[in-house]
Amino acid sequence: MRKNHNAPTAALVVLLAVTASVLGITSPAAAHDDLVSSYPQAEATIDGSPAEITLTFTADLTNMESASVIEVIDAGGTNVAIDAPQVSAASITQHLAPDATAGVFTVRWKVVSSDGHPISGEYLYTVEDTAAGPAPADPAPAESNSPTPAPSASDAAAPTPEPTASAPESAKGYGSTPSGGAVFPPGLYLVMFAFILAGGVIGVVLMGRQRRRRDREEAENASDDG
């Protein structure tokens, strides 16, 4: 009887195909560029509106016409960006209107990363109004020439109330706990790959043993029949 030795080879081919598909899924996701810093920073509060904002990414951006768009929207919904953004390597700069008012601003950006894929995002920053200046101090009280009356015996005997200690901020319910989004661990891909590879190797070994045992049984049956 003809022995089939192609089963372990076919299993190995399937294993390699599965491994390549796993690696093919994870590799392109890591190729896109990301925003690493900005001015003003996200959620920051600054004094006076800046003349420009700057975004910096992990790699050089594609410097093509209309490839990059930045909008800076004030609290009234007006875009205070006044010209096209300027790309320089991994940074992009957007000039703002000089008469921008104070308030919360929303930065919406869209650029083309170094791998040719468009990426986008947005963040907020707040501008404080510094034109009003500090609040005026209270005027000094006018001096009086009248004599200060001496304290009476009842006033002297009255105990001075002790100041009451205020509760700490954490007891008032104002404490906050930093929060963050769950990060998918890159090492999980290696664990998945190891499990897939181990399963494939075990499957190949078991199939080879089963085939050899079947061949021996067939050989013994043939010898008995002879």
Q: Given the structure tokens 């996701």, which residue do they identify?
A: 29
Chain length of the chain? 226
Nearest to 44 by CA among 151, 123, 130, 113: 123
Nearest to 81 by CA among 110, 46, 111, 53: 53
Identify the burial level of 131 via C-beta atoms within 10 angstroms of its C-beta, where 0-12 means exposed, 13-18 middle and 19 or more buried.
Answer: exposed
Q: Over the stretch 88-102, which tens digit does the pLDDT of each residue have?
A: 999 999 999 998 889
Task: Please check the confidence at residue 86 and state whether its pLDDT lies above 50.
Answer: yes
Q: Over the stretch 177-201, which tens digit does the pLDDT of each residue have?
A: 444 444 456 666 677 777 788 888 7
Nearest to 114 by CA among 7, 31, 211, 203: 31
CATH number corresponding to 35-129:
2.60.40.1220
Task: Please check the confidence at residue 108 and state whether its pLDDT lies above 70.
Answer: yes
Q: Over the stretch 137-183, which tens digit does the pLDDT of each residue have?
A: 555 555 555 556 565 555 555 555 565 554 444 434 444 444 444 44
- What is the predicted pLDDT for the residue at 179? 42
- The full set of domain ranges for the chain reads 11-29+186-225, 35-129
Phi, psi angles (nearest 5°) of residue 171 = -75, -20
